Amino acid sequence: MVGFDIEAMTSDIYYDDEQEGLDEQIMIRFSHVAAEDTPKDRTTSKFAALVEDKTNGKVKVHIYPNATLYNDANEWEAVQNGSVEMIAPATAKISEHYPKWQILDLPYAFPNYQAIEEAYEGKIGETLLKALDRSKVKGLSLWYNGFKQITNQEYLIRTPDDFNRLHFRTMPGVVIKEQFNQLNASTSTISFSKTYQNLEVNFVDGQENTLSNINTKKFYEHQQYLTISNHGYLGYGVLINRDFWNSLSPDIQESITEAMNEATSWGRRHAIEINDQHARELRSNQPMNIHTLTTEERFQWEQALQPVYEKTKQTVSSELMKEINRIKE
Ligand code: LMR
């Protein structure tokens, strides 16, 4: 948005007085860092349409994608202080503040999509959202993106040894850092919106991400090699400012909750196909050298990354660890 004045929009509820005939129009500013045409942006659009529909236009959701309003460095604070009403950071980014959330970044915890659904919409998701209960934000849902893959600019990575001494951009989170440590690679935590430029100047050799993020952010322009490893899952916690939530009437809260449930289920059904579409585009349009791990290579990665589970046990309750191990099997 050009000429946008953040300071002027810091009240909890923003009344859009351009809307004739709708008194007390409620505006939800939803800021996120992913590009358009990604699972997160499309699920947010779905949510926005559903909210507007269910409240007969009384609540409008204004989406700010691509870190146009806030980025990884400041969106957490922005939702806490009510500068925006909603954000949907990657679960790894929430784990910076709520360490239990790191359980969702454990490598090879999810053998298939059903396992992710079980974690996100079952006991683990419920416990993680509840962990936010006494904070300034309310956790509304967990949203889907896809499995993470590895890109880099040096050579094709096939085995755990290939990581030796490479330097990776990562999201924040102890588990992710530990994952690369186990592979003898070093890491720098860098905002998503600054990743492209750090790849461009070779500050980092590589990064891990979903195919939709790799394609929409054009990482392929500076990353020649792509390893389809499916070693971790990238999804989101959907957060709303708690004072704002509490200021809404029960029927508006109910409409938002319904819209969120329907949008979550839409995202679950569409995230795979959105990532597949980006995979096809990467394969057909980009000169990347792509390798999918063989069963044997995947086994080697799983073995190499097993110690990350031991370390995580120290932070995450045994109950949640038991649940993730059950899902993993
Ligand atoms: C990243 O930082 O790589 C992702 O969390 C970006 C996103 O929101 O999908």
What is the whole-number distance in angstroms between the Cα of residue 90 and the centre of ligand 1? 6
What is the whole-number distance in angstroms between the Cα of residue 32 and the centre of ligand 1? 9
d(CA 166, CA 82): 40
End-to-end CA gap in the chain? 46
Q: Which amino acid is at 66?
A: N
Question: Ligand 1 test: best mutation among 43, 44, 192, 216, most atoms within 8 Å of CB?
Answer: 192
What ipTM was reported for this prediction?
0.99
Atom of ligand 1 nearest to the CA of 92: 5
What is the whole-number distance in angstroms between the Cα of residue 34 and the centre of ligand 1? 6
What is the whole-number distance in angstroms between the Cα of residue 161 and the centre of ligand 1? 26
Question: Ligand 1 test: best mutation among 149, 171, 188, 191, most atoms within 8 Å of CB?
Answer: 171
Contact 152, 163 (CB under 8 A): no
Atom of ligand 1 nearest to the CA of 236: 8
Atom of ligand 1 nearest to the CA of 192: 2
pLDDT at 102: 97
**Cβ-Cβ contacts under 8 Å for 212 (sequence gap 6 or more):** 34, 37, 38, 39, 145, 146, 274, 275, 278
Residue nearest to atom 3 of ligand 1 (CA): 192
Which amino acids bring their CB within 6 angstroms of ligand 1? 33-34, 40, 90, 145, 171, 192, 209, 213
Query: Nearest-CA neighbor of 131 among 315, 309, 328, 266?
Result: 315
Atom of ligand 1 nearest to the CA of 208: 3
d(CA 294, CA 277): 22
Residue nearest to atom 5 of ligand 1 (CA): 90
Atom of ligand 1 nearest to the CA of 171: 2
What is the whole-number distance in angstroms between the Cα of residue 93 and the centre of ligand 1? 9
pLDDT at 287: 81
Residue nearest to atom 7 of ligand 1 (CA): 34
**Cβ-Cβ contacts under 8 Å for 204 (sequence gap 6 or more):** 167, 168, 169, 188, 190, 198
pLDDT tens sequence across 79-124: 999 999 999 999 999 999 999 999 999 999 999 999 999 999 999 9
Secondary structure class of 170 (helix, strand, coil): strand
Secondary structure class of 5 (helix, strand, coil): coil
What is the whole-number distance in angstroms between the Cα of residue 292 and the centre of ligand 1? 22
The whole-model pTM stands at: 0.92
Question: Ligand 1 test: best mutation among 145, 196, 275, most atoms within 8 Å of CB?
Answer: 145
- Provide the residue-wise pLDDT of the chain in tens; the chain has 329 residues: 333 444 444 444 444 444 444 568 999 999 999 999 999 999 999 999 999 999 999 999 999 999 999 999 999 999 999 999 999 999 999 999 999 999 999 999 999 999 999 999 999 999 999 999 989 999 999 999 999 999 999 999 999 999 999 999 999 999 999 999 999 999 999 999 999 999 999 999 999 999 999 999 999 999 999 999 999 999 999 999 999 999 999 999 999 999 999 999 999 999 999 999 999 999 998 789 999 999 999 999 999 999 999 999 988 999 999 999 999 98
pLDDT tens sequence across 244-280: 999 999 999 999 999 999 999 999 999 999 999 999 9
What is the whole-number distance in angstroms between the Cα of residue 89 and the centre of ligand 1? 7
